[in-house]
Structures are given as C-alpha cells and as structure tokens.
C-alpha cells in the first residue's frame, strides 16, 4: 500500500508515519515544509519511500505523477490559532485542502484529513452539526469551511473521505510547535526548569484551573486514523477526542506527580497539597484571550462509534504518564 502523509514532520503527521511503519506500511511519501530544519528529528527512525516539499507535491500529485496512491493522510496546515492573517489561513488550510480533495477524487485516492474542534468555538455542545459550529477565530473558520465542502460532496464521492475534528492533542514530537505545543509539554518544561507549573486562575464562571478540555493522547489519534485506513467504507466528519472533559488541574497534577515519581518521590499528591507546596501556581487570566478562549470542550463520539470504531482512549493520568516518560528519555527537543 502506497500512502502519502502531508505535514509529515509535524506532531500528528510524524506520529502517523511511525504508526504506519509499525503496522508494516513503509511505502510512505512524506510531504512537508522543512524550512524549520530541526523538525526532521520527528522523522528519525521512520521509513519513508520518498519526500517532497509542499510547494512541489500538490501540483505533481494532481497530474498523476506518483502512480497509484491508496490514501492521503492530510495533516498539513497552519495550526496557529492566534494567526490573524485570514488570507494566508484560507489559502493554507482551505484552498490547498480543496484542491487536494479534487485531485484525490479524480485519482480514486482516499483522503483522511485533519479538521479541528476549533470549528465549535464558543459552543457548549460538540456534535458535528451546523447549529453547534461557531468558530472564534479564522483558523476554526478555515477548518469549518473545508468540512462543509466535504459534507456537500460526500453523497457523490467515489472513494473514502474522512475528516477528524481533533480536540486537544498532546504527546511526543510536538516540541517544534513552541507556544502552540500542548499544556502537558509546557508543564513538563516548567516543572523541570522552575520546580512548579502555572495555570490560569478563575475566569468566566470557572474556578482556578477548572477550565476543562477534552485532552487526547496522540497515540489514540494515530490509532483512529489507522482504523479508518483499514475500513475504507467509513466516510464523514467525525470528532476525535476521548469524549471526556478534564480540567487543566488534572493535567498539572498528572504532570507534576509523574515528574516527581521520576526523581524518586513515589507518593502521588492531591491537588490541594501540590498547590499548598507551591508546585502548582495560578496566574491571572490573560486579557488577550478574553472572548477567544474555549473554557470547555468535550467530544460527542456518537458518530465515531456508529462507524464501528470502538477504540478506547487513554485518560489524562495514563496518557501524561506515558508522555512524561517519553520526554524524559528524549529531552525537550525531542
């Protein structure tokens, strides 16, 4: 099976490449922009049959120059939710994806692609329906626009098209994302460097650290993508999260206790004690994020489960324990 992974050196893309290799698929074409050269580290140990810069791949694929490709796992995008250049965002996240969709339909190639929970924005419900889709930024809008195109074309599609609305993904190979890396990544580095982690204080009816998100371990994201790759009859737009919101306090507690365990402090401490010892600290909610911040997300998995995908997702404590081990062994640069 020949497969393409766009955004192959990014967090989810690189984990997908490693995941494909793990199930015996090594005819993998990687596509990315390696202007940020150190991202290559995410692909160390992976088996690729070829690599193309994003500026070259899409045109050549549309012309059919790569022969028979079974599927494209499209992760390439601008994922910076604070990017306000709408022209750039729509060109990168929408137009590129739309052209790729058209080429895949022409070539009979399956398309599995990354959408985002940012499509829901300020909504209190997270079902894949128009009434709940209220993006708070142009990033979320760019993803929603493409999802809408996919939903309109699905009745006439000649091959599988599946989009995944990723919730808050954390895990290995995200170090290049800087400020957009997960809170788990930042907590690990904060604790290593300063001996404590910081969380937002009370805001918009949520107590300190009690803003809650659906945190999903990247290994679970890979597993669901691979399930769809192995089930070509499943198409649509699907939430990809655990289905369980957990507060940021849970992330901080899991990270601090995992780090403490590594240095020999075997006894896990509860939140109150960690706060009391100054290992968790609350800071004022930033003015720049007021009105632009999702204080609660929780994936509704009804449609995902209806496909027959029964994957069991790790909770925060389990996922962060595994992630902390990886970070400790690989260093902050991955």
Catalytic residue among 2, 98, 177, 198: 177
Task: Output the 3-class SS for 54-81.
Answer: HHHHHHHHHCCCCCCCCEEEECCCCCCC
Residues in the chain: 334
| Beta pairing, strands 212-213 & 246-247 | antiparallel
Catalytic annotation present for 196:
no
Catalytic residue among 113, 139, 166, 323: 139
How far apart (Å, rounded) are the C-alpha atoms in residues 227 and 313?
Answer: 13
Q: Which of 152, 131, 132, 317 is nearest to 236 (CA)?
A: 152
E strand or H helix at 149: helix 138-153
Catalytic annotation present for 292:
no
Residue 275 CB neighbours (<10 A): 20
Q: Residue for token digits 């737009």?
A: 237
Q: Would you please indicate which residues are annotated as catalytic (active-site) residues? A: 139, 177
């Amino acid at each position: 099976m020949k497969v393409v992974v766009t955004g192959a050196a990014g967090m989810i893309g690189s984990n997908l490449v490693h995941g494909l290799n793990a199930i015996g698929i090594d005819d993998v074409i990687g596509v990315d922009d390696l202007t940020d050269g150190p991202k290559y580290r995410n692909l160390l140990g992976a088996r690729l049959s070829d690599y193309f810069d994003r500026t070259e791949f899409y045109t050549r694929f549309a012309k059919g120059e790569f022969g028979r490709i079974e599927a494209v796992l499209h992760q390439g995008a601008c994922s910076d939710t604070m990017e306000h250049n709408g022209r750039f965002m729509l060109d990168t996240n929408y137009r590129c994806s739309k052209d790729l969709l058209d080429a895949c339909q022409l070539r009979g190639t399956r398309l599995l692609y990354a959408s985002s929970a940012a499509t829901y924005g300020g909504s209190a419900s997270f079902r894949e329906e128009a009434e709940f889709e209220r993006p708070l930024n142009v990033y979320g809008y760019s993803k929603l626009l493409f999802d809408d195109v996919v939903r309109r074309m699905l009745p006439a599609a000649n091959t599988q098209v599946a989009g995944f609305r990723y919730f808050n993904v954390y895990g290995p190979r995200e170090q290049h994302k800087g400020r957009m890396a997960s809170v788990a990544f930042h907590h690990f580095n904060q604790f290593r460097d300063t001996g404590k982690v910081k969380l937002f204080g009370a805001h918009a009816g949520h107590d300190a650290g009690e803003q809650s998100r659906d945190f999903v371990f990247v290994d679970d994201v890979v597993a669901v993508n691979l399930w769809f790759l192995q089930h070509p009859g499943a198409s649509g737009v699907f939430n990809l999260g655990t289905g369980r919101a957990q507060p940021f306090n849970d992330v901080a507690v899991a990270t601090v206790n995992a780090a403490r365990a590594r240095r020999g402090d075997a006894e896990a401490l509860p939140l109150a004690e960690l706060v009391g010892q100054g290992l968790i600290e609350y800071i004022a909610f930033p003015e720049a994020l007021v009105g632009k911040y999702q204080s609660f997300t929780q994936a509704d998995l009804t449609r995902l489960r209806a496909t027959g995908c029964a994957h069991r997702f790790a909770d925060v404590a389990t996922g962060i324990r595994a992630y902390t081990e990886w970070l400790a062994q690989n260093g902050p640069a991955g």
